[in-house]
Amino acid sequence: MRARLPRLLVLPLLVLLATCRPSGHDATAFDYVIGVSMANLTEPWRINMRDEINAEAAHHANLRIVFTDAADSNSRQIQDVHTLLSSGIDLLIISPNDSEALSPVITEAYHRIPVVLLDRSVIGFDYTLFIGPDNRLIGKQAGEYVTGLLGEKGGKVVEIMGRSGSPPVLDRSVGFRDAISPSRSITIVGTIVADWLRDKAEDELSAWLKRYGRVDVIFAQNDAMAEGARRAAEKLGINGIRVVGIDGLPGPDGGIELVRSGALSATFTCPTGGKEAIIYAMDILHHEEGIPKKMILRTSLVTEKTIESGALGAPARPRLSPDHRIVLGFAQTGAESNWRLANTDSIKTAARQAGIDLVFVDSEGQPEKQIAAVRSFIARKVDIISFSPIVESGWEPVLREAKAAGIPVFLSDRTVDVKDESLWTTFMGSDFLEEGRRAARWLINYMKTDAPVNIVELLGTIGSAPEIDRTLGFKEMLKEHPNYRIIVSESGNFERSTGREVMQQILQELVAKGQKMDALFAHNDDMAIGAIAAMEAWGIRPGKDVAIVSVDGIRDAFTAMIAGKLNCSVECNPLLGPQLMKAVKDYMAGKDLPVRLITSEGVYPAAVARTVLPSRKY
């Protein structure tokens, strides 16, 4: 157990810092002290984060919260973390001022106590849990809204950005521009940096409008800058400019009220995660199972229409009797791989341990059978439906039926492609895009060459979420290294036997063309192992003549690495049962769920395979 300073010694030091605790409670009687390191307490969004932390902490009489304010200084925030650690806190919640600069001290903290990251992640994975928005998605949603607002006629747009170079700024801008790029009639005619500040946005936009004239839409990356932009146009007597913001905070000065009053055309909620940070911090301190690695919070479009309709409020939940046993319907893809078998076993075991009645259907790789299984769950009136989609498309009709029946849908392992994302409640599983990136990063770092590298890619089931995203993530990293090029991409359908057959065909084609394969990226370990057998039949030494990286991290992959035939396996954790059951119980208890729950995963090169293999559970 970690050595702890006595509370009587700890608390006098903490009194020097801003604190929150239940009134009338003995200061020495707290079971837990959580330190909260804030990047600043000047932005309205961060002030709201602090208020949410305080409000949720007030529900725990045995908890004390200690705040520090770095005032936008990296060096000060590093010192704040050291002060909190030396004072004996049990858990650190930190909203980093700068991801790169704060990474080392966060790693230091993580090796001593649990660390919850808010808003901004760090370099590497030395943290317990990240909670925050998907800023690129928010930007994309804003771009889609502006595209619809301007219609076919199009128009001119000015983008007002937050602090230059910060990850949220870059991601929101990329998402926004990607969304409007298909419309040739929409042009971004100006970009202004206003550091998240209302007054600076007002001054900068006033100067821009005086110089260049009116525009049709202003997209500001937070509501404070959006309000500053609106004031600038109003003072110059320019009417008709539509202003779109991000944050959607409650309260008299928040974005929701600005939309209600007509000051803004729209905003997008960007949850701070303060409430969730305390909820999950207490779960972590109580050693609960099913804690994810990342929680991506849901964002919503706020317009006068959505406010009037009440769409922003949480849906009503049925009141359950104390003896009600939760019934979960789960439609599995099939049993196509060792990964899937481990996933099935994890779900069944976790449901049994959680006291949840599980109705399980094996869809045997048939999308039609899986859709029929979901319809059977609706007819049975289960409490919650969950499934791992075989393919992304074709789900809208049956999910509308589930929504009409009032049954929430939890996606596990894979996502669906539907226009109305309110048809599902939450997704839990892996970040397939990041898995593709990790595979490419490892390969580039392993080969360390400027010479041409010919890569063969074995794809998973075409149209499935992991196939789509792993491909995108892998190619995204290769863009920065043009000497690495994919010469063949073929599907092995996530199956070992198919992987072998497809690799045999590829090798025949490469020989006929006189091409050489330098590396293989397989979307799962089973296909890689099948491909290894095909290579050996051709006299190729896998792992030596050809560098091989695959995804999943199954035991057979570790055995292949120990034998020198596979070079790296990027983990895709199938043990999602505890995470799914925790989400089911949380939802049925009335808790709000994030839009995405990402499980903890690693990257395992061959050098560590022998050490890690005994601990693998699948």
pLDDT in tens, 463-503: 998 999 999 999 999 999 999 999 999 999 999 999 999 99
Residue 592 lies in a domain: no
Q: Residue 26 and residue 15: Cα distance in Å, rounded?
A: 14
The pTM is what? 0.83
Question: Considering only CA atoms, which of 337, 391, 383, 385 is closest in space to residue 360?
Answer: 385
The answer to whether 138 and 293 are in contact (CB under 8 A) is: no
What are the two backbone dihedrals, phi and then psi, of residue 519, each rounded to the nearest 5 degrees?
A: -150, 155
Residue 94 lies in a domain: yes
The answer to whether 69 and 37 are in contact (CB under 8 A) is: no
Q: State which residues form the domain around 141.
A: 135-268
Residues 6+ apart with CB under 8 A from 69: 18, 38, 40, 41, 80
Question: Considering only CA atoms, which of 332, 336, 362, 389 is closest in space to residue 525?
Answer: 336
Q: Residue 42 and residue 55: Cα distance in Å, rounded?
A: 19
Give the residue from 430, 454, 477 where a domain finishes: 430
Tell me the sheet residues that pair with 361. Answer: 331
Q: State whether 360 and 440 are in the same domain.
A: no
Strands of 221-375, DSSP E: 242-244, 267-268, 294-296, 301-302, 327-332, 357-362
Q: What is the CATH classification number for the domain harbouring 408?
A: 3.40.50.2300
Q: State whether 443 and 540 are in the same domain.
A: yes
- Residue for token pair 């909670």: 131
- Residue for token pair 């196509």: 336
- Residue for token pair 């700068």: 98
The answer to whether 95 and 39 are in contact (CB under 8 A) is: yes
Residue 613 lies in a domain: no
549-558 average pLDDT score: 96
- Residue for token pair 């525009």: 215
Q: State whether 124 and 165 are in the same domain.
A: no
Q: State whether 506 and 533 are in the same domain.
A: yes
Would you place residue 9 in the very low, low, confident or very high pLDDT band (cuts 50, 70, 90)?
A: very low
Residue 49 lies in a domain: yes
Instruction: Give the number of other CB atoms < 10 A from CB of residue 451.
Output: 8
pLDDT value at residue 336? 84
Give the residue from 403, 430, 457 where a domain finishes: 430
Distance, CA of 43 to chain centre: 24
Residue 475 lies in a domain: yes
Residues 6+ apart with CB under 8 A from 493: 336, 460, 461
Between strands 327-332 and 357-362, the pairing is parallel
Q: State whether 379 and 457 are in the same domain.
A: no
- Residue for token pair 């043990």: 575
Q: State whether 347 and 475 are in the same domain.
A: no
Alpha helices (H) along 325-480: 338-354, 367-380, 396-404, 432-447, 465-478
* CA angle 538–544–545, rounded 5-degree value: 50
Lowest mean pLDDT among 6-15, 298-307, 368-377: 6-15
Distances, alpha carbon 343 to alpha carbons 2, 346, 576, 577, 618, in Å: 34, 5, 7, 7, 9
Residue 48 lies in a domain: yes
- How many domains does the chain contain in total? 4
What are the two backbone dihedrals, phi and then psi, of residue 24, each rounded to the nearest 5 degrees?
A: 80, 5
Q: Residue 326 and residue 347: Cα distance in Å, rounded?
A: 15
Would you place residue 22 in the very low, low, confident or very high pLDDT band (cuts 50, 70, 90)?
A: very low
Q: State whether 415 and 492 are in the same domain.
A: no
235-249 average pLDDT score: 95
Q: State whether 498 and 567 are in the same domain.
A: yes
Q: What share of the chain is helix, strand, coil (3-state, %, to 5)?
A: 45, 20, 40
| 418-423-425-426 Cα dihedral, nearest 10 degrees | -10
Q: State whether 363 and 343 are in the same domain.
A: yes
pLDDT value at residue 29? 64
pLDDT tens-digit map of 185-225:
999 999 999 999 999 999 999 999 999 998 999 999 999 99
Residue 594 lies in a domain: no
Residue 32 lies in a domain: yes
pLDDT tens-digit map of 495-550:
999 999 999 999 999 999 999 999 999 999 999 999 999 999 999 999 999 999 99
Residue 147: both structure tokens together: 């595209």
**pLDDT at residue 363 tops 60:** yes
Instruction: Give the number of other CB atoms < 10 A from CB of residue 349.
Output: 14
Q: State whether 289 and 232 are in the same domain.
A: no
Alpha helices (H) along 448-590: 465-478, 496-513, 525-537, 555-562, 577-588
Q: Residue 89 and residue 87: Cα distance in Å, rounded?
A: 6
Q: State whether 59 and 84 are in the same domain.
A: yes
28-45 average pLDDT score: 89
592-613 average pLDDT score: 94
Q: State whether 261 and 215 are in the same domain.
A: yes
Considering the chain, what is the average pLDDT of its residues? 92
Q: Residue 119 and residue 34: Cα distance in Å, rounded?
A: 18
How many Cα atoms sit within 13 Å of 182 on the Cβ side?
A: 10
Question: Considering only CA atoms, which of 392, 428, 432 is closest in space to residue 412?
Answer: 428
How deeply is 446 buried, as exposed, middle or buried, from its count of CB atoms within 10 A (0-12, 13-18, 19+)? middle
